[in-house]
Structures are given as structure tokens and as C-alpha cells.
Chain A
């Protein structure tokens, strides 16, 4: 199988403090990987580093995305190459309307790929369809990006953007946090609808409940900046039952 993303021995620091300490991960095309781990283990750091946030210092390691050196690319280049990050805390942008951002984003990607730009009519058709899918009412299109949205609305808006942009690699950073059961179902439905042999996803989460709805091919446990344990979906269940302490104890017992 062809590799979508390969992370080799990635070390990342923030303000001189190491967060990721030699992380290795390979995600093949068509796969869904879940990354689980306790708070502070480096899950969100990984998501932000993949998207190109500048506050992180990459001290060593390589990340290859579809045969390109991801770490050399600007955030917008990564986005146009098909990498999408659903933010844990989507930012509010006063005065900028949602429809405008969506259209600009879709066209930025199309232009970069030499595809024809979406016209107003086509765009509206597409967006209405996708909005129905994530159960967002159309008035949201004309509101400012994330401004005054509830936590659940913000997360659904992230999924709407993902559906519109049809990324090759989607990274979902704790998209389930703060969601009620209904919203969780909507979000999972959106994600599952994008499942495709040429598309991969990395689902970062603290809890197993999302993984009941988005069934991962692989589950990894991130602790202290490294992937310490990998397995199939059963690992998520086991974690849920036994807690992260179980991994810690097990690790302590294993000589490195």
C-alpha cells in the first residue's frame, strides 16, 4: 500500500521544552489512524506541527507527505496539497463571513491544482448539500466565521469545511471534545462519508466514544512525546476500560 504520511524520529520543542521526542508513524492511503493519549502527551502538538504552525521548533526528524517534504512547505501550501486540520479550538474572525472564507479556500486549492474555479452557482449548490449533511442551517453562511457559534456549531463548521475541501489527509484534533451525542453522530457521519481508498485520516482524541462511530484501522497511544503502543481498534476499547495508567504501568514494567 502506498504511504500517505511518514513521520520519522520527529523531535519538537516549544520554548526550549521538548514535547515530541522521537515520534514515528506511517499512515497508508485509505487508512484511518487514531491517536490517543493523556493530556499533555503531545497530541495537539503533533496536529499543529503537521499543519505548519510556526510556534513549534522542529529539532530533528522528517515528515514525508505524498512524496513531498512536508516540513519545507508553508501552511497554505500544505492545505492546497490536501492536508486539512480540523482545529480543536476554531478561531473567531469578526466580520469575515463564512461563505466567503469557504469559497476562497475552495478556489485557492483549485487554482493551485490548475482546476477551474468554482462559480457562485456551483458553490451554492455544493455548500447547501454539505450543510444539510452536517445539519447546519443556511443562515450560518452569512455569519462571521465562528463568531457567536456554540462549541458544537464550531466543530460542525470545521467538518463542513472539510467536506467542501475534500482533503487527502484530514487531521481531526479532538473534534469530539465538548460535543453531545447528536453532534458526535453528525460529525462522525461527515467524516465517514469522506472515507475513500485515496484518503487518509488521523483522529486525535482523548476518548474512545468517537472511535465507536469512526472505526479506526490503527490505534496509537501517545505518551511523553512518543508512540508507546499501537494496535487495532480493540486497543481503544482496552484503554477506555483500563485507563492510561494501565499503559504507563505496562511501560514501566518493560525494559527499554
Chain B
């Protein structure tokens, strides 16, 4: 809680705290996209032929597709030929084997982001896989994880060391033809994370990745694949930031999760890409395809996201509930301030018997922000006894913003039950007055009430992320009150 002693002017002036640029020589391919660029990326990474062909197939299909226009978003046209599709830190060729080998400047970057790798890793028992622009630069705790049989490495490493797993699972949850941005990602992805939890293993620590877009005119196209084998359990955290730049930058990631029988994956995201300035200049286009496949019986996939950054967010972390008694969850907080736009939500596709899903979505709109929830709950004829519960609340701060709700419910089972509730309102004057009568400033009262509004989602986050998320909300709401 801010106190009187804080200089108000300082608070108002506080800008995007993560907006610094690290000066590292980039190994960058010239802007533009064609088959040669794709072959270059694939060759640069020493990929097997099947992957090169897979990329080309995706690219050729992408050429036949059109960017989606159904979302409640106003997107300036993107020149895909102006983007550079590969930017690796110079010393990536002799990839660091441990933290000590990581460029100290990079480590400094993470310090500024508030994730002191050493400390955080040691104190919190978190293994961090940090993706800087396109290439994974550091992975910690490999030894401890290896003892448990857990594979946690950069996607590139997995391609080299575990091609059979890549071949078996890549693109099986999000096919290359799935959508425009997924096809693009499949063609040009440079790196990302790979996780495999063997049968019966409970991952001994939370796995974490920090993504950061640094170079100008680069897109970040990371690819994450997590496989939880039978009876295993993993909790994965993902954080994102990018420096301030005038122009928009594209981030089009694909995340695929596979949960086999009795496996559980918990995937948490705190997304704080650069949102653009007060006038809506710059900021990241965050067009992400995230999908989990509950393939096994009693498998469970839980998405938690806190989306405060990006100029435009287009993402729908989804669950395909194939397994009998499988469970899908989606907990989301999305905040749009200034000229940010978000169209986000989830899809819960119920295929398995007695599959269950829960959706809790909290949208906060401030400034000129536009915030849309878009969700699909589909009950297939095979999903006997399926259940869904959706609660979708929107909070409006100011009369220039928008809050929108577009739920799609499609049921084809008489014994399934789907419930959807949604509300839209502003903070009541009575609540504000009550808090101020107890001595809180209006700004503090708003922050407190907004955090309370998000509580059901924040409580799903691991502890250290929950605190970060709360602070992020307060920073992101600055200037939205009064």
C-alpha cells in the first residue's frame, strides 16, 4: 500500500519499469520471409530434415491464409516482410552450459527485471529457462531435474537430444494449419522451452521461463512443448517483458501441452510485454496460441494468466478434454489501460465422459482500453455427464473504455450441464467512500478493490507470482484513477 510519504509526482511519472535496452551484438538475419529464411533458421539450428520439411509445410500453408479479423480488435496491418525472423545473442553458438557461462550483461538484464537468477533459483527452488529474443540462453537446475528424470531444456536442445519426442508430439495439439499465427510460428519459430515429465514423477520444483523481446524489428516466435506422462505432475511459470519502442513488435508464440493418464499440468503466465505509451504508440502485438490436450483419463490442465502488458493481446489458452474424467481450468485477469486492446478467453472442448471445466475470467478496462472476453464451451455428443462452470466479470474504470463479453456455449449432450454467469459494472461509490473513510487515498482504495476483484485468480498463482501480479496491477493502473 502506498503511503503519504511517497512523492505523488513520482508515481504519476512512473513509466514502464522494464523499458531498458540491453546492448549485445545480435546475430540477425535480414528482415523478410521466404523459404530461404526458413531453411536458414533450420540450418542455423542444425535441425533434422523432418523439422525443416515441417516448417516449410507450415509456411506454404500460411501463404494461403488470411489474418483473422473476427476478434474485437483494431489491428494496424502488419508487414511480415519487415520483420527479422532470427536474432540470437552473438555468443549463442557456444551455448552456455551453466549460469557462469551466461553473458553477465544478460544476467544484469534479468536483475533489472526483478528476477535475480541465482538468488531466485536458489531461494525459491525455481529452475529458470530464460529466452532472450529467440534463443534460450540459460537453464538452471538441470542436474537436479535430471536426477528425477525430468527433461527441461530449450526447444533447440530438445531437437538435438530428444528428436523422437519432438517428432511424436510437436504439432499434435496445435496443428500447423490451426490458425494464421500458429502457422507462421510453425514456419519460423526459433526457440522456446521443452519439458518432459516421465511416468509417475512429481516435478521436484516449479519450472520457470522468462521471455523477453530485446532487438528492434524482431518478432519473437517461441515454441513451448510440455509433455506430462502418466501420473506425473508439473507446475510451469512464464513471465514476459519487452523494452519500450515506438513501433509495434510481433510476438506469436505457440504453447502445446499434453497430459496423459492421471497427469497434471499447471501453467501460469504473468504477461507484461510493453503495452505502448499513453498515446497508444508502440507496444507488443501478442498473438499467441496456447492449447492443452488432456489426452488421458483423469488428466488435468490448468491455465492461469495475468495479462497486463502488450498493445494488443489475442490469446485463448484452451483445453481439449479427451480423457474420461479429465479436468480443464482457466483463470484469467486481463487489464487494459491507455490504448491497450485485449481479446482473450478460452475454449473448453469436452469430448471425454464426465469431463469438467471451470472458467473464471476477470477483465479490467481503464483509460481508452478495450477488453473482450471470448470463450467457447463445447460439449460433444460423447461427453456424457460433462460439466462446465463459467464466471466472467468485467470492471470499468472511466467512461472512455470498453468491456465486452462474447461467450459461445454449444451443447450436444442432454446430461451435460453448462452454467455461465457474467457481470459488468464499475467500482461502486459506496465502496470507495467506505475505504476513504478508513483513511485510504482514492488510488489506494481503487488498487485494493481491483486486487480484491482479481483475488479468485491470483490465489491460483504460485506465491511469488501472486505478489508480482498484484504489484503489476497497481503499476498498470497508474493514471487510471481520479
Contacts and interface: CB of A to CB of B under 8 A. Distances in A.
A112 interface: yes
Given A96-B451, A144-B452, A91 B434 contact: yes
Interface string B431-457: 101111111111010001101111110
Interface string B390-414: 0000000000000000000000000
Given A95-B451, A111-B5, A104 B440 contact: yes
A101 B435 contact: yes
A45 interface: no
A73 to B, nearest CB: 11
A91 B452 contact: no
A29 interface: no
Interface residues of A, number: 34
Given A105-B438, A107-B3, A112-B439, A75 B433 contact: yes
B452 A90 contact: no
A94 interface: yes
Contact of B440 (A53, A105, A117): A105
Given A111-B3, A112-B4, A93 B452 contact: yes
B430 interface: yes
A93 B449 contact: yes
B448 A101 contact: yes
Given A76-B439, A107-B1, A107-B3, A100 B448 contact: yes
A65 to B, nearest CB: 14
B4 A111 contact: yes
Contact of A108 (B428, B438, B454): B438
Contacts of A101: 435, 438, 448
Contacts of A244: none
Contact of B449 (A96, A107, A111, A117): A96
Interface stretch (A5-13, A79-87, A193-201): A79-87
A165 interface: yes
Given A95-B453, A111-B3, A76 B448 contact: no
B5 A93 contact: no
B452 A108 contact: no
Interface string B107-149: 0000000000000000000000000000000000000000000
Contacts of B448: 93, 96, 100-101, 104
A93 to B, nearest CB: 5
Residues of B contacting A: mostly:
helix
Contacts of B3: 107-108, 111, 117
A54 B430 CA distance: 10
Contacts of A111: 3-5
Contacts of B456: 95
A135 to B, nearest CB: 22
A152 B440 CA distance: 25
A51 interface: yes
A85 B434 CA distance: 9
B440 A76 contact: yes
Given A75-B433, A104-B448, A111-B4, A95 B439 contact: no
Contacts of B433: 51, 53-54, 75
Nearest to B450: A95
A53 B454 CA distance: 27
A84 B435 CA distance: 11
Contacts of B440: 76, 104-105, 108
Interface string A185-217: 000000000000000000000000000000000
A51 B451 contact: no
B258 to A, nearest CB: 34
Contacts of A95: 451-456
B436 A79 contact: yes
Contacts of A53: 433
Q: Which of B439, B449, B452 has the most CB of A within 10 A?
A: B439
Contacts of B439: 76, 79-80, 104-105, 108-109, 112, 165
Contacts of A80: 439
A175 interface: no
Interface in A8-52: 51-52
Given A108-B3, A112-B4, A112-B439, A91 B444 contact: no
Contacts of A52: 436-437
Contacts of A117: 3
A112 B451 CA distance: 24
A101 B449 CA distance: 10
A131 to B, nearest CB: 17
A48 to B, nearest CB: 9
Contact of A51 (B5, B437, B452, B453): B437
A224 B436 CA distance: 29
B198 to A, nearest CB: 39
B436 A74 contact: yes
B466 to A, nearest CB: 13
A93 B455 contact: no
A75 B441 CA distance: 9
A226 interface: no
Given A80-B439, A105-B440, A108-B439, A91 B453 contact: no
Contacts of A74: 436
A134 to B, nearest CB: 17
A100 B452 CA distance: 10
A76 B453 contact: no
Given A53-B433, A91-B434, A108-B1, 6 more contacts: A52-B436, A79-B437, A93-B449, A100-B448, A101-B448, A165-B438
24 contacts: A53-B433, A54-B429, A75-B433, A75-B437, A76-B439, A91-B430, A91-B434, A93-B435, A93-B449, A94-B452, A94-B455, A95-B453, A95-B456, A96-B448, A96-B455, A101-B435, A104-B444, A104-B448, A105-B440, A108-B3, A108-B438, A108-B440, A108-B444, A117-B3
User: Would you list the 6 A-B pairs with minimal beta carbon distance, nearest first?
Assistant: A95-B452, A96-B452, A95-B455, A108-B439, A79-B439, A105-B438
